[in-house]
Amino acid sequence: MISLRKKQKKVLYRIIIAAILTIVVALAPIDYGEYHKEILFCLFLIPYLIIGYDILIKAAKGIGNGQAFDENFLMAVATIGAMILGVTYTGDYEEAVAVMIFYQIGELFQSIAVDQSRNSISKLMEIRPDSAFIEENGELTEVDPDEVEIGTVIVVRPGDRVPIDGVIVEGTSSLNTSALTGESIPRDVMEGDEVLSGCINLSGVLKIRTTKEFGESTVSKILDLVENASSRKAKTEAFITKFAKVYTPFVVGSALLLAIVPTLVQLGMGTDPEFQQWIYRALTFLVISCPCALVISIPLGFFAGLGGASREGVLVKGSNYLEMLSDVDVVVFDKTGTLTQGVFEVTDVSCNEIPRERLIEMAAAAESSSPHPIAASLVRAHGIDIDRSRVSDVEDIPGKGVIAKVDGVPVAVGNKRLMEHLGLEIEEVQATGTTVHVAIDGKFAGSITISDVVKPESHQAMEDLRKAGIKKTVMLTGDADAVAQKVASEIGIDEVYSQLLPADKLAKIENIIEENDGSAVAFVGDGINDAPSLVRSDIGITMGAIGSDAAIEASDVVIMDDDPRKIATSIGISRKTMKIINENIIFTLIVKFGFLGLAAVGVVDMWLAIIADVGVMIVAVLNSARALRYKLR
Amino acid sequence: MKKTYKIEVDCANCATKMEDAAKKTEGVADASVNFVLQKMTVEFVDGADPKEVMKVVLKNCKKVESDCEIEI
């Protein structure tokens, strides 16, 4: 049910009263005698003032402030002009009143439509927590999350939303993370686990020590991003703004010419000037002079598109990026974490001189401070927490590996290139996956093979992209060629570049952008170590990176969960949005200029002109709202 | 410094006019009006006092659209 604001209700009542009065006065078959025209004028003046007084006042104020092309002013001129023509010439006053009524209907509709779409978007934003609870002297006190300082222990009861990011100090529970990740399976958490704001606590009471301020917490960041997205305006919007600034003066200028030139020509030719007729046509021009339909429907379309995307778990950081997404022809993927799970498992170990456990332990210790997924899998394979104090002198060699001292013994863990760099001979192993070589105390000690698992959705994701008309899919990876080729053929990707160092990836992206001049290139990464590529590409997309500020910062589109099919979804949403927007632009311009033409030759009267003008706006606004809904396939 | 203000404006074209008026105000580096969200984001020139500047912004906005409101 549509609920109206007080202001809107007032306008609605004014419209109804004015409409009824106008109909009564117009239909009453009364002859007012000698002063029929004048009395009728006074009678029509009542509904005219009821419906138009605010516009007349605004118009007057506008003149005072030098706002000549203010649409209130133009409506006032058009209707007053029509009234004067009525008194002096036609005796027709309904028209002026009707124009005012329709204009107000249009304004009212516009205001309701905007409220509606704002409401449907704010439903998406219901993840904003209103309060946090602090325990004081054994009692829970409700406070504004904004006032909670870092390090405060907050209590989150079952059913509540975690208001601020933090670490659990007491309690176990399961969390519904669907607002952040789209993942519907609850996540079990216990003491010591990090929790992100926006999750819903499902079972037990949790005490959480906050690690961030509310404003810096995940939920605020996401809301900020969604709310500010439509502030980054798209090229189309900029064009419309410029167009709107020229359109009104152009129409007003044409109206002036229309009022003067034909009359002068007729005078010059010695024929009877029909100046009332030309003035009437000029006034009709003014009725069509507001670019409102465009100015309202285009931003609304983008807003709805952004809302529709966030409904699908895709955060697009600006209207400009939504626009750019529709032009994407080439999608470049970073393999790890986007097409594959990014969860590596040790699948093969080869060593001769030392026990297998020892090899894994040394490798895990050396890698224990690295954020790389391979490091995490080594630590997992080791199974026991590593005492960090055993590790010193850690040196990260990008694209090669890590050198560190474990218990004072130098350990090198990395790829073939690292071993070459250290001048060590290695024993080749025959296994598909990523092989890390380990050297202990300057001697090659063995190799550990780690494999990544392809995401089950990756194949479908490529299919969807092809169906969406993407010309080329490319995969970049630092992995060995054999691994890369296997993954690529499994999921059906077009081009593969393997064994790339992080710097190579950036160079490759630049190459691809150059090769595909004229079409937009999207880069999809997991936000770890690929910020430069994300920034350099036309559109940087990160997946499953919620909680990582750096990744969100570097990307233009954030996919909340880690489903690669969402890339085709986002492109689909953006194309639908752009199609709607273009439809609106073309439709509005055809109607506006069509009616200007028809009004100039006198086919269209003021009645039709205002109906067309309001009608085109209503159609455009309703069309824009469609962008909010997107159906997969 | 950037600040966001809640605004009230009824038509999209007027929102654009408010944006222009705010941009031209002294002390404002940049301004952007989001009609759909009814928000105005103002970036202030270094050293400007937002409160004082916003008073002028409101005055200038009222000039172009008498029916608008900014919650300062």
Q: Quote the number of domains for chain B.
A: 1
The residue to which tokens 């953006």 are assigned: A574
Please state, in angstroms and rounded to a whole number, the distance separating the CA atoms of residues A541 and A322. Answer: 12
Q: Do B10 and A231 touch (CB under 8 A)?
A: no
Rounded distance, CA A273 to CA A176, Å?
A: 78
Smallest CA–CA distance from A111 into chain B, residue: B10
- Please state which of the ranges A227-231, A471-475, A597-601, A626-630 shows the lowest mean pLDDT: A227-231
Q: How many helices (H) and strands (E) does chain A have?
A: 20, 22
What Rg, from alpha-carbon coordinates, does chain B have? 11
Pull the structure tokens for residue B62. Answer: 């009222």
d(CA A243, CA A375): 56
Across the range A210-224, mean pLDDT stands at 83
Mean pLDDT to the nearest integer, A528-536 = 83
Pairing of strands A173-176, A139-143: unpaired
Please identify which of the residues A334, A452, A561, A613 carries the catalytic annotation: A334
User: What is the token pair recorded at A46?
Assistant: 């009542």
Spell out which residues of chain B touch residue A228, defining contact as CB-CB under 8 Å. Answer: 41
A307 pLDDT tier (thresholds 50, 70, 90): confident
Query: What torsion, rounded to 10 degrees, do the Cα atoms A337, A339, A341, A344 define?
Result: -80
Rounded to an integer, the average pLDDT of A399-404 is 85
CATH number at residue B21: 3.30.70.100
Q: For residues A459 and A491, what is the distance between their CA atoms, to the nearest angstrom?
A: 4
Give the start-end residues of each E strand in A387-442. 391-397, 401-406, 409-414, 434-440
Residue A525, both tokens: 């990464």
Backbone angles phi, psi at A355, to 5 degrees: -65, 150
Give the mean pLDDT of A75-100.
Answer: 87
3-class SS letters over A337-381: HHHEEEEEEEEEEEECCCCHHHHHHHHHHHHCCCCCHHHHHHHHH
**A133 inside 8 A of chain B by CB:** no
Total H helices, total E strands in chain B:
2, 4
Least CB-CB distance to A227: which of B13, B37, B63? B37
Main-chain dihedrals φ then ψ at residue A399, nearest 5 degrees: 75, 0
Which pLDDT score, from 0 to 100, does residue B56 have?
Answer: 92
- List all residues 6 or more positions away from A198 whose beta carbon is below 8 Å from its beta carbon: A127, A129, A161, A162, A177, A179, A180, A218, A219, A222
Check pLDDT > 90 for residue A168.
yes
> pLDDT tens for residues A29-44?
777 777 888 888 889 9
Instruction: Give chain A positions within 8 Å (CB) of B66.
Output: 57-58, 61-62
Interatomic CA distance for residues A605 and A610, integer angstroms: 9
B30 touching chain A per CB within 8 A: no
pLDDT at B14 > cutoff 50 = yes
pTM above 0.90, yes or no: no
Q: Average pLDDT of chain A?
A: 85
Residue keyed to tokens 């994701």? A461
Whether pLDDT at A633 is above 50 = no
The verdict on B69 touching A (C-beta cutoff 8 Å) is no
Domain extent at residue B42: 2-71
- Nearest Cα to Cα of residue A520 among A574, A564, A566, A569: A574
Residue A373: other Cβ atoms inside 10 A: 20
In chain A, the domains with their CATH numbers are 149-212 (2.70.150.10), 341-453 (3.40.1110.10)
pLDDT by residue (tens digit) across A432-480? Answer: 677 888 988 888 888 888 877 788 889 999 999 999 889 999 999 887 7
**By 3-state DSSP, what share of chain A in percent is helix, strand and coil, each rounded to 5?**
55, 20, 25
Q: How many residues does chain A have?
A: 633
Torsion, Cα of A388, A389, A395, A396 (10° steps)? 10
Q: Looking at the predicted structure, is the pLDDT value of residue A88 above 90?
A: no
Q: Identify the residue whose tokens are 């966030």.
A: A310
**pLDDT surpassing 60 at residue B7:** yes
Read off the pLDDT of each residue in A490-518 and give the average, rounded to a whole number. Answer: 88
Probe site for chain A from B2, B14, B66, B69 (most A CB atoms < 10 A): B66
Q: What is the pLDDT of residues A328-375, one digit of tens each?
A: 999 999 887 788 876 777 877 888 788 888 888 888 888 887 777 678
Which pairs from A549-554 meet CB under 8 Å and 24+ separation?
Answer: A549/A221, A551/A526, A551/A527, A552/A221, A552/A225, A552/A527, A554/A527
The answer to whether the CB atoms of B11 and A110 lie below 8 A apart is yes
Which residues partner with A474 through β-bridges?
A332, A495
Phi/psi region, residue A584 (left: phi>0; alpha: psi -120 to 50; beta: rest), is: alpha
Q: Measured between alpha carbons, how far is A455 from A452 in angstroms, rounded to an integer?
A: 9
| Largest pairwise CA distance in chain B | 33
Question: Residue A358's pLDDT is what?
Answer: 86
With an 8 Å Cβ cutoff, are B16 and A244 in contact?
yes
Token pair belonging to A503 = 């710097």
Position of tokens 């152009």? A250
Query: What are A371's two structure tokens?
Result: 């954020």
Which chain B residues contact residue A244 at CB under 8 A?
Answer: 13, 16
Q: Strand, helix or coil at A133? A: strand
Contact A299 B32 (CB under 8 A): no
Residues 6+ away with beta carbon under 8 Å from A16: none
Q: Which residues partner with A391 through β-bridges?
A: A406
First-to-last C-alpha distance (Å) of chain B: 15
Q: Which of B8, B10, B32, B36 should one mutate to test binding to chain A, selecting the residue with the greatest count of A CBs within 10 A?
A: B36
Using alpha carbons, list the distances in angstroms from residue A276 to A42, A80, A132, A283.
21, 14, 70, 10
Optimal mutation site among A8, A231, A239, A322, interface B, most CBs of chain B within 10 A: A231
Closest CB from A118, A228, A290 relative to B13: A290
- Give the number of A-B residue pairs with CB atoms closer than 8 Å: 58
Half-sphere exposure of A69 (CA within 13 A, CB side): 17
Enter the tokens of residue A447: 């190799």
Indicate if the pLDDT at residue A116 is higher than 70: yes
Q: Give every CB contact of residue A556 below 8 A, 6+ residues apart in sequence.
A: A316, A317, A318, A321, A324, A534, A539, A540, A541
Higher pLDDT, A260 or A353: A260
Consecutive H or E run containing B32: strand B28-34
d(CA A363, CA A145): 43
d(CA A414, CA A403): 8
State the pLDDT at residue A481. 84
- A387 counts as catalytic: no
- Is B34 within 8 Å of A67 when comparing Cβ atoms? no
Distances (CA, A) of A68 to A58, A80, A238, A500, A606: 12, 16, 23, 62, 21
Interface contact B37, partner A, CB < 8 A: yes
Cβ-proximal residues to A593 (8 Å cutoff; 6+ apart), any chain: none
Predicted local distance difference test score (pLDDT) of residue A632:
56
Chain B CB contacts of A65 under 8 Å are 63-64
pLDDT of residue A182 exceeding 70: no
Residue B64 · residue A67 · CB < 8 Å: yes
Q: Which of A54, A71, A118 sits opposite B36 (nearest CB)?
A: A118
Helical (H) or strand (E) element with B5: strand B2-8
